[in-house]
Amino acid sequence: MLLGVGCTAAEQSTHTQSPAESSDRAAAQRSAAMAEGGRYPIIPWPRRLEPREGTFALDEETRILVSDPENETARAPAEALSTLVRNATVFPMRVARTTAPKGPVSEQPENTIAFILTDGDAPSESDASRPSDARLTNTPGDGEEDGRYELTVTPRAVAVRAPTPKGLFYGMQTLRQLLPPQVERGLGYDDERIEWALPAVRIEDAPRFPYRGMHLDVGRHVFPVSFIKTYIDLLALHKLDTFHWHLTEDQGWRIEIEQYPRLTSVGACRDSSMVGHYEAGTYDGSEYCGSYTQEEVREVVRYAQERHVTVVPEIEMPGHARAALAAYPEMGCTSVTDSSYTVATTWGVHEQIYCPKEETFTFLKNVLTEVMELFPSKHIHIGGDEAPKEQWRKSRVAQAVIEREGLAGEKDLQSYFIRRIGDFLNEHGRTLIGWDEILEGGLPPGATVMSWRGTAGGIEAAHQGQNAIMTPTDALYFDYYQGDPDSEPLAIGGMTTLRDVYGYDPVPDSLGTEAVRHIVGAQANVWTEYIHTPEKVEYMAYPRALALSEIVWTPETDHEWGHFRARLPAHLRRLDALDVDYRAPDVVRSGDVAKEF
């Protein structure tokens, strides 16, 4: 049992909390943090936080220690903190080659920050009489606990303890958020008005869900690798661990496939782009091109791995295929349409679809083979959404497959199509993710459903015993307006406020105990029909992504809008220091920050 606020280890060992007492303790914990006036502006909020008196002051003599200095992965968070502080201050903050002791923080050398990779034998850093770090060992298959850590800040020393490098990394991100926001600017401050100190605290933390994702559509508009890295940096800061990279669309194919060079030489360029909303039918008349080389993809994947972010690629099929068919028209249903496909210039859904013939499956398997060589992610997203069936209804080839396989119709044909791709991915040790349309006609075994048309798809998948990721349009589509459309930049429509996001719970009330475990997380989607620049991506994503991070990391019982709102002003100052072009939320006027909340 974790030690809570206001209860000693001895008291905890002799007293079993009732549910009411536990709830009271959580409320007291939140109240204590809020009463500190932003002393702990951590987002997402940790699982357990015990405020303590005093601060740990950084100075020229502060050293960073690592329990295993030769383990580069475990050492990386220490080096990252060292670089961050060294660039922002006049302190050397070097990582010492001295091995950090694995005992309690009281046994640590004074004026040190230790990163300790636990092995299950070390005592708890806060109190040797408490249970050992065995509870922090990495249980195989316990994905929800991947990333857990303990953090203790005392006036004499600081310790981050975790069973995995990922946990050490998240502990470092929490330390980072406890430092003054000026630490993000890297300007070498020599300003006595800045108190380079950490508030004393005891934290025990772990994620609520194993999948905590943000998506970015580069099919409609492409963004430079430098910005993709910035996007990943912000995910890591907020303990989001999955970047869903939407790489192919009707309006553009964005990833180099060496076996099929026309996918980018032809499929990456469209003749024009829409201006304004779809109904206006206005175009800019300018060619729009862009794609990523395989080396650029490897660079992004490496960068993300260093920050414990998994990159999940999406290659759309069987619909949203018009750019691919413009490059290789023979993969379409050529018997019902001419072969003069073009890359789409209009947003929305297009009827062009891959034809379910053997040549098409060979093509897609070859594409996915190259994709799997670039992305080590266990999951490969294949889309599966918004696939009009009219061309299949008219296609002799498609109808022959329906008859040969004894399928009931075109919906079953899509299931057959997805199942074949899923089997191929399974043979290569990967798992298929698809939008909730893959449920139609039967769900492929082992597939994960991304529920976007509300929550029904996720609920259905969970009841079938298969995993689901919740990403409903009304709560987690970040291409929707954030406020009054008359005063906001152009967006696709809808309305999703910061409070709407924070108020969303990925676990539907209707699910029973057995089905609940199949809700593995949630994700917000940034579709880019109306988002042309990195600045607007950030404007649409932040601060809503902060709310997302908390609903997927923090236990649901600790979700409290007032508490989140109280931490927001200080955290937005950090985003200011990072030059993030966020939208100032309409929450409350704060005298502590120049923007309106």
Specify whether the CB–CB gap between 368 and 324 falls below 8 A: no
- SS3 at position 190: coil
Q: Is 70 a catalytic residue?
A: no
Indicate the pairing of strand 282-283 with strand 63-66: unpaired
What distance in Å separates the CA atoms of residue 128 and residue 352, rounded to the nearest whole number?
65
The residues facing 197 across adjacent strands are 57
User: Would you give the distance in Å from CA 153 to the centre of its chain?
Assistant: 28
Rounded Cα distance between 432 and 455, Å, is 19
Residue closest to 524 by CA, chosen among 548, 554, 546: 548
- The answer to whether the Cα torsion of 435, 438, 440, 444 is positive or negative is negative
Instruction: Annotate 302-328 with DSSP letters as a single string.
Output: HHHHHTT-EEEEEEEESSS-HHHHHH-
State the sign of the Cα–Cα–Cα–Cα dihedral 311, 315, 319, 323: positive
How would you classify the pairing of strands 197-205 and 149-153?
Answer: antiparallel
* Environment class of 490 (CB within 10 Å of its CB; exposed 0-12, middle 13-18, buried 19+): middle
Give the 3-state secondary structure of residue 431. strand
Say if CB 543 and CB 568 are below 8 A apart: yes
β-bridge pairing 269-270 and 288-289: antiparallel
Amino acid at 449: V
Distance of CA 52 to the CA centre of its chain: 31
Exactly one of 79, 144, 370, 386 is catalytic; name it.
386
Q: Do the Cβ atoms of 192 and 501 come closer than 8 Å?
A: no
Contacts of 1 (CB under 8 A, 6+ apart): 12
Active site residues: 386
